[in-house]
Amino acid sequence: KNEVEQSPQNLTAQEGEFITINCSYSVGISALHWLQQHPGGGIVSLFMLSSGKKKHGRLIATINIQEKHSSLHITASHPRDSAVYICAVIRETSGSRLTFGEGTQLTVNP
């Protein structure tokens, strides 16, 4: 079993829908990252969380340390949100190294 599991693997939505992507992990962590991989392949960091909730524009990320679970929400989704969303954790014992989930492919149709 992977240490970082994401669900769903694939998600198709209509423009304007509220989207949730989930990430569960099985190890102790010091922080969790959400990243976005564009169709062209580039990867950008969206959030780093160690507790609570963060918001940036239409994106909201939450984490529950006790339940070892994080969610990424997208409000009022748009076709330009179509990308792969990747959850990654920094294990307590790994310094700055990231352990990645497999990613969630999101497609938002107009």
User: Using CB under 8 A as the criterion, which residues of the chain lie in contact with another protein when the complex forms?
Assistant: 2, 4, 30-31, 33, 40-45, 48, 50, 86, 88, 95-103
- Collapsing DSSP to helix, strand or coil, 81 comes out as helix
User: Which residue is it, tokens 């969790």?
Assistant: 32
Q: Cβ of residue 56: shortest distance to another protein, in angstroms?
A: 12
Cβ atoms within 10 A of the Cβ of 30, count? 13
Q: Cβ of residue 82: shortest distance to another protein, in angstroms?
A: 18
First to last CA, the chain: 36
According to DSSP, residue 75 is labeled: S
Nearer to another protein, 44 or 110 (CB): 44
Nearer to another protein, 42 or 57 (CB): 42
Q: Cβ of residue 9: shortest distance to another protein, in angstroms?
A: 9
Q: Cβ of residue 53: shortest distance to another protein, in angstroms?
A: 16
Nearer to another protein, 38 or 78 (CB): 38
Strand residues in the chain grouped as ranges (E): 4-7, 10-14, 19-25, 29-37, 43-49, 52-56, 59-64, 69-74, 83-91, 98-100, 104-109
Nearer to another protein, 25 or 81 (CB): 25
